[in-house]
Structure formats: C-alpha cells, structure tokens
Structure 1
Amino acid sequence: MSFGQGGPSGGPGGGGTPDWAALAERSEARTRRRRLMTAGGAVLATVAIGAIVTTAVVTTDGGGSGADRGASRLPSPADLPEDTAEPEPSFSPVAPPLPPDPKDYISSAAKDRAPITVDGFFPGGKLTTGDRVHLKGATNRTTDCASGTQGALGAVLTDNGCEQLIRATYRRDGVAVTVGVAVFATEARAKRTVDQVSGGLASLSGEGVTTFCRGGTVCRRTTNSYGRYAYFTVGGFLDGRRVTTADKDVFAVGDDLTNFTFHQIHRRGLTQASEAAADPNGG
C-alpha cells in the first residue's frame, strides 16, 4: 500500500535533514519584529510624557509670549482689589421729632392760644353738607355760660369753670337747631361737664327763626366734648310740634351740626399744631 509523498522536510514523520538556512532567516525576522515593537512603544511613551509636560507648562507658565501669555495667566494676589466691600448706609442716632398732635393744642388753655370767636367756629351764612343746605340764623357769645341754658345745665357749666359759651342757630325745611360750644381751661373739666350734664342748651331765636323748643316742647338734645370744649345741640320744629324718633329730618340737621362742630374744634388744633411744626422755636 502506498501513502504517496511524505510531508515537508523535517516535518513530523519525515526522515530527511533540517533546512538550517531557512530556520535562521525566520529567527532573524522574529528578532527584528520584536525590536521594532519595543522601539515603537518607547517612542509612544516619550510622546505621551512630552504632551503631559507641555500641557502643564502651557497651563502654569506665565512667561509665554503674545496672546497665549495674557489668556492663560492666572491673576496674582497683587492684581486683586484690596477692599471689595461696598460702603454701608449711615443713619443718624437721633430720631426725628414726632409731628405735633393737634389734640394737644385744644386740650388746655396753656397751649390753645388762638382767638376764640363766633366766626371761628361758625363761619359764613350757611352750612352745606352733601345736598343739604342749612341757613345760619342768630349767633351769641357770652361769658355768662348759665344764661344760654335751660334747667340744671347752667349750674353744671358754672361749677366746672365754664369760661364762655358760643351759640348759633341753623334752619332747614321747618326744622331749627341751636348748637353751643362751652369753653373750659382743661380737657378734664369739659369731660366732667358731660358726665354731670342735666337740663340742656337754650334755643336761640332771631334772624328769621321764631322761638322753638321752649315751654316744655319735646325736642332732641345732644351732648359731647372734644379737648377742652363741650358742645351741645337742641333741635325741633319751628311750628312747635313735638319731636319723635321717627322725625329723621330733625336728627339729620342735628347730626350735621354736631359733626361740623367737632371738625371745627379739630381744625383749630390742627392749625396750631401746623404752625408749631413750621416754627418749633416760636414759643
């Protein structure tokens, strides 16, 4: 049985002599490849190290030239401003004085020095409140406070030291109301008068107003105080009819006059307080 030609020389199952020249060439080729790979690796490592060193130099070196030097240079402490804090606002340790209280100037005769007159409390010839017009009639000012009262009110005013009493009458649509302002030295005296009130104000006729609220006729009366002033009203019908709680016209005229008198007293204090604020050394 024939198996044909044998394998390569020196191969398994061969019986010939080895080709030493071929083996030597293959060994030399393998050596050259190892040398080239070793040299290439060294070159790559050198390039990588060089890149790292170059990057570090570019980042930290301020001694370059041209645009690169200005762009990559970090500021030194000398380049930073010494004080970056903004100035803080300053405040005066002294608080500004509070504006004067108008009520202080109408609470005692010591500070309430403005002249006291009829026109100061009841100016003009009429009082207009919204669409209601009240015509002013007779007025009166007296230092004999009891003479302008009815019943026990005169004694109450006198006992508390009433200095003067100012009255004025207003009329509208058959209704008449007399309002009176009693002046005292202090606020305490005015308040005590209101607490002790009895009787009432005497109506004031004349200047187109006939006698009203006299002879026991039922009328509406009010009493109040503000500062060193006590103020009163008495109101009713000019034809002598008695007033009931259903007579809104009488209540409306009386309320208008009461509110107006309060504001006139307050305005008196406001005027004097404003003058004091404008001239604090004026006394």
Structure 2
Amino acid sequence: MSFGGGPAWPGEPGPGPGDRSQNQPPYGQQGGQQPYGQGYGQGQAQGYGHGQGYGQQPYAAAPLPPAQPYPADGRYSASGPLNGGSDTPDWSALADASAARKRRRRLLVVGGAALATAGIGTAIALAVVNSGEPSGSATAAPRSSQAPELPAGGSAEPQPSFSSVAPPPPPDPMDYISIPAKDTAPLTADSLFPGRTLTLGKNGYTKGAVAATADCASTGQAGLAGVLARHDCTRMVRATYERDGVAVTVGVAVFASPEAAQKAKKEAVGGIATLAGSGVEPFCQTRTVCLRRANALGRYAYFTQAGFTSGKRVTKADEPVFASSDDLGTFAFDQIYGRGRAQASAAATGG
C-alpha cells in the first residue's frame, strides 16, 4: 500500500490526492529516511508511521489534505501553513502520530524487557551448568565462596596419629644361640631330643640311648676329644636313632662363642663316640668304616656318626646311611635354631 499526501521537500510540488506513482515508496518505508518524529527541525521530509506498529502491522493513518511546504527555516510552527493555508492544526493527524509513537515506544520497552529476561535466563543456565548441579534442585545448599577450613592434616576425616619414635626391631633368634648372656634356657637331652620316635620326611626313627655331660673330651674319638678340649667345649648332649639296621648318634657341643664353634667344626677329626642301648646294638666300633660329619650354628657345633648295627662297612653306595646322616644333621640344626627362636619370642612377648 502506498501513501499519498506526505510532506515534500520545499520548492517541490507534492503529489496530489489519489496520485499513486510507481516511484513512491510503500507506506512506512521512506527510502532510507528517518522515522516519523525525528525529521522536524532537521530539514528532512518524513513519512508518518515509519517502522512497524503494534502487532507488527503498519499503521494506516487517514489521508491528509495536500501537503504544503514547510517554512524556509525547516522548523515546525503550530501557526504555520499545515492544512491548506488554515491557521488551525490538524489535531486528528497529530493525535494519530502521537499514538503511533507511544505504541512504538511500548513495543521497544516490551522487546527490551524480553531480551533482558532471556539474557538473565541464559546467565542463570550457564551458572547452573558450570556449578554441575541440576537447576531444579530444591535441596542444594548455598555454595560458599571460601573453601571449608580443614584440620592440620589437610583432610576432613580424622587421621590416626603415630609415634615419631621407631619401635625396636624384633629379637633375632641368632642372638639367643650366639650370646651366652641371652642363651639362658635349660639345655637337656629331653629338651633337645624330645619324644621316643622321630619322623623326618618319609623316614621314621626310633630313639635309643641319650646322654648329657660337661666332660666334652670323653665323648670324642680319634682326635675329636682334643679339638673339643682345645676350644673349651662346656657341654655335650647326645642321642642315638635307629632305622632298618642303620643307626646314627648325633652330638651337640656348646662353646662360649660362635668363633669357637666354627673352629671346632673346621678342625674336627675322628668322630663322636656312639651310644648303644635302649634297643640299639653297638655300632661303629673298631675295625669298621662309618660316615662322620661336623657342622656349626651360633655357638653350637654338632656332629653325627652313622653306620650299620651289623658292623658292616659303609661304602658310597649305601644310600640309607647317607640319608639317615642327612636327616639327623638337619634335625640337630632345626633343634638348635628352634631354641633361639623360642627364647627370642619369649623376650618379645615379655614371657
């Protein structure tokens, strides 16, 4: 729809009533001119109702009488020629223009409020997303701008406390079989060789005679007596075990220090005197060959002599004799170390 009757530039004839020129811009689009209400006092012709009215529809004002040129200075005057030379202003047109301005202003206010509301909603949504909490949560506690104070340990959970003093190391069983002042447990044949039978692996043994003496030299044969005396052996405990015609006498000698026990082991010659009786026939007598061994642990040295109760000479092919010697030597080692472990455990528990 085009509008005829709008103001024209001074000195140019305005379109007459009913003139619908093809070059006339549509109503409300003045070819880049400013909206109504901004042209007066600027020397520019304006079209009524430029822009959109309420409800996004152009405002259709009643046609005005043929336009008259503005005064030469471009300023509006209520007494100037505006309505065909009449001195009375067109109050209807002015009221319509004022209503259009109010509607446009109201639309701007409503649009601005809508934009502001949308911006606030967007900011709230971003804040909720950044906080990692659902926007509909009614139980979320308000966040504090400061982190809660933690105890000195740096954790909200109670922390166990530890003493700065390191606990003493557990007692070493080797100390109790190496140092006479600590090795105070009773040493008898029954404590060192308990029971009547002994099972080691698949081999079962019967215990024969046992003996204990402070005269270590009397228990040695073919040079071992001198070795025991030279290194001050203080006690010798012996026991004999028998299995299928093979007998073994094991003797445990006690010295003042581990060094003395090691020397007695290295210098050992001859062997420990065997014990017969309690169901075991004499063995390893003169003019025969037996298997002799020596070892040491802590301040103890232990010796074994194994052979046939029949008096047969032992050869390298006699596996039962070697196996029995190994069994009783391992048993002596375990009993000596077990003595140290028992005393260390009693010291640790205050027993």
Question: Would you say same fold, with TM above 0.5?
Answer: yes
- Indicate which of 104, 115, 119 corresponds to 1:52: 115
| Residues 220-273 of structure 1: per-residue CA shift (max 9 Å, x gap) | 111111111100000011111111121111111111111111111111111111
Give secondary structure in 2 for the equivalent of 1:181.
strand
> In 2, distance between residues paired with 1:159 and 1:235?
25
**Which structure dedicates a bigger proportion of its chain to helix?**
1
Is structure 2 residue 189 aligned with structure 1 residue 193?
no
> In 2, distance between residues paired with 1:184 and 1:139?
20
Measure how far apart 1:188 and its partner are. Answer: 1.4
User: 1:83 matched to which residue of 2?
Assistant: 149
> In 2, distance between residues paired with 1:195 and 1:119?
28
Measure how far apart 1:33 and its partner are. Answer: 5.8
Is structure 2 residue 104 aligned with structure 1 residue 38?
no
| Residues 42-72 of structure 1: per-residue CA shift (max 9 Å, x gap) | 6765544322322455657xxxxxxx9997x
User: 2:223 matched to which residue of 1?
Assistant: 152
* Runs of 4+ more than 6 Å apart: 24-29, 68-71
Per the alignment, do residues 158 and 32 of structure 1 end up closer, same or farther by CA in structure 2, a change over 3 Å counting? closer
What amino acid sits opposite 1:207 in the alignment?
A: S
What amino acid sits opposite 2:117 in the alignment?
A: T
Measure how far apart 1:167 and its partner are. Answer: 1.1
**Alignment TM-score, normalising by the size of structure 1:** 0.78
User: 2:233 matched to which residue of 1?
Assistant: 162
What amino acid sits opposite 2:326 in the alignment?
A: D
> In 1, distance between residues paired with 2:28 and 2:278?
143
- Report percent identity of matched pairs: 45
Greater C-alpha Rg: 2
What amino acid sits opposite 1:51 in the alignment?
A: A
> In 2, distance between residues paired with 1:270 and 1:93?
29
Give secondary structure in 1 for the equivalent of 2:156.
coil
* Greater relative CO, 1 or 2 (CA 8 Å, sep 6+): 1
Structure 2: runs of 5 or more not aligned: 1-14, 31-47, 57-103, 125-134
Is structure 2 residue 302 aligned with structure 1 residue 231?
yes
User: 1:209 matched to which residue of 2?
Assistant: 280
| Residues 102-122 of structure 1: per-residue CA shift (max 9 Å, x gap) | 111111211100111010111
Structure 1: runs of 5 or more not aligned: 1-18, 61-67
Q: State whether residues 27 and 50 of structure 2, in contact with CA within 8 Å, keep that contact through their aligned partners in structure 1.
A: no
- Indicate which of 118, 130, 149 corresponds to 2:201: 130
User: 1:3 matched to which residue of 2?
Assistant: none
Give secondary structure in 2 for the equivalent of 1:38.
coil
> In 1, distance between residues paired with 2:306 and 2:137?
96
Please report the RMSD computed on the Cα atoms of aligned residues, expressed in angstroms.
3.1
Measure how far apart 1:20 and its partner are. Answer: 4.8
**Alignment TM-score, normalising by the size of structure 2:** 0.64
User: 1:176 matched to which residue of 2?
Assistant: 247
> In 1, distance between residues paired with 2:24 and 2:200?
129
Per the alignment, do residues 45 and 163 of structure 1 end up closer, same or farther by CA in structure 2, a change over 3 Å counting? same
User: 1:23 matched to which residue of 2?
Assistant: 19
Q: State whether residues 28 and 51 of structure 2, in contact with CA within 8 Å, keep that contact through their aligned partners in structure 1.
A: no
